[in-house]
Amino acid sequence: MKKKLFNLAILLFFIGLTIYVLVVNGDVKQIPNLVKQMDMKYFWVASGLIFLYLVAGGLQIKDLVKSTGYRINYVQAFFLGVVGMYYSLITPFATGGQPGQIYVMKKQYGIPVSVGTSVTLKKCIVYQVSVTALVILMFFYQLPFFKNTDTNLLILVIIGIICNFVGTIIFMMALYNGKLLIKVIRPILNYLTKFKIFHKINKDKIYDMINDYSDVMNALKKMKALMIRQTLITILQLIMFFSVTYFIYLSFGYRDAPFMKIFALQTILYAVVSFIPTPGGAGASELGFYSIFASFFSKEVIIYAMIMWRMVNYYAIILFGGLLLLVNTLLSKRKDALNSKTRLHNLGIAEQQKE
């Protein structure tokens, strides 16, 4: 409960900070006029891309669950995808997404925790590898831009890319040899736990998690068709998600910058803020947007553009996810009846697998 309140406090703090920046550096009275001047069709395209991103996430989860021998329909898979996004956006490092999905799979759909964990890990692995490859590719594509940019910004970008790359290397090590990875990190963890700040690290839990990753990766290697489908859906999702910024740019009447330039810079911005320990990268995302895209918008517009961008790819998802979870809770009794067939089917599969 304390963690939830703390995360909520952080989120509200950065919302308040954004409003404060708007009031100090912008003119709130100009917002209605600015909205009237916007080309709203591009704003709705940006919003539609986020919705399609969630739709694709549902297809991805349905495909992953099906590969385990269990069954859920698309509406249930879509709900799982939204649950994952919602809890990822309101928790530091997106740590709440997977547990939230596993909980719903177990409670509502009768899918065992071990299978739910496998599903979320497969999705996480494909996503991490795909996004890291895209980030590195886009960085070299936009290398001339960063050569001429602020040194501090360049350092942050490089740190973000390195963090993503290291994360992918860890995944790859888990793929080929989980035991070797444990041998590599054991002395590091032993050293860190000597310090009071890291004293509560559960080393056994980390080792178990690495073994789980290794098992899932080995299973993925044998399911090449599934891996190809998941990778293609993930790439499509990333293209939709990172394209939002370009359509926000167009909605304010700008036409000079090419799509690939803004797409590439947005991809890199994601890498920079993805390892910031605030819910949804709150604060860092806004600052990063302001720093990277300052040359693409006028000083009078960039703050408003930043708010519209965050409204589409962050606050709208939180609002939609929160409402969906509220409806799910209010209709839980009726949903129990609707989900009973799915739950009974999956419980039967679980019993068969035990035998």
- pLDDT of 354 reads 60
Ordered mean pLDDT values, 10 residues apiece, the chain (355 residues): 58 61 55 75 96 96 92 94 92 83 90 87 88 91 83 81 81 73 83 76 79 74 88 96 97 94 94 80 84 88 89 92 88 62 66 63
Q: What is the pTM of this model?
A: 0.83
In a domain, 195, yes or no: yes
Residues 91, 35: Cα–Cα separation, whole Å: 31
Burial 165-177 (b: 16+ CB within 10 A, else e): eebbebbebbbee
In a domain, 177, yes or no: yes
Domain count across the chain:
1
In a domain, 94, yes or no: yes
In a domain, 33, yes or no: no
CA torsion 147-149-152-157 (nearest 10°) is -70
In a domain, 71, yes or no: yes
In a domain, 28, yes or no: no
Owning domain of residue 212: 2-8+38-354
In a domain, 116, yes or no: yes
- pLDDT of 206 reads 80
In a domain, 142, yes or no: yes
* Residue 96 · residue 3 · CB < 8 Å: no
